[in-house]
Amino acid sequence: MDLAFRMHAERTPNPNSIKWVLGQSVVEGGVSAHFQSAPALDVSPLAAKLFAVPGVIGVFLAGNFITVTKRDDVEWADIAQALVDAIKGFFGSGEKALGPAFQAKASGPAGAVEERIRLILEQEIRPAVAMDGGDVIFAGYRDGVVELYMQGSCSGCPSSRATLKLGIEARLKEEIPEITEVVAV
């Protein structure tokens, strides 16, 4: 039986990013990948194909969605069909979105505070941010400062600073008084 390919687009808080939600997994195991330039085919054949669409400046792969970010001077109406065709064609090929040369960003060292930060990020913050087509990855913790990678629609989003300061920083400070600031790296 041939199951129909399912996909729909969702707007994100970033007007230059669209979240394409698929009826199947894009990547598995909680892995995510953020590209700000075309990767080699052996790193991500899917991202490489999407960067071939003129105007694409960012690709984020996670769970069952792909977030594509475009240049300011490009209209969605001009590239949407090319993106849909590229995604459908890719998943029709049966190829994996991440190739053998892909390496996930390593998290910083683990200590008691770091573990509490990671737990809040995993259980509360990352699922909420993923709903908007983005992700937040723990990069490190030093001297009261939490460093995070902002990915997908969060990268370059006009409201990402508010998300970082009013949402993430406030929540982490509420649970972990040692935290003085949260910054994007």
Pick the CATH number of 112-184 from 3.40.50.970, 3.40.1440.60, 3.30.300.130, 3.40.640.10: 3.30.300.130
Please state the domain extents for the chain. 7-93, 112-184
Residue 108, pLDDT score: 53
Q: What is the mean pLDDT of each run of 10 residues along the chain (185 residues)?
A: 76 90 89 91 96 96 93 96 95 92 70 88 89 88 90 78 83 91 89
> Is 3.30.1370.70 the CATH number for 7-93?
yes
138 vs 105: CA distance, rounded Å: 9
Q: Which amino acid is at 10?
A: E
Residue 2, pLDDT score: 43
Determine the 3-state secondary structure of 120 from DSSP: helix
176 vs 91: CA distance, rounded Å: 42
**7-93 with 112-184: one CATH topology?**
no
Are 16 and 71 spatial neighbours (Cβ–Cβ below 8 Å)? yes
54 vs 127: CA distance, rounded Å: 30
Cα Rg for the chain, rounded, in angstroms? 17
Question: Residue length, the chain?
Answer: 185
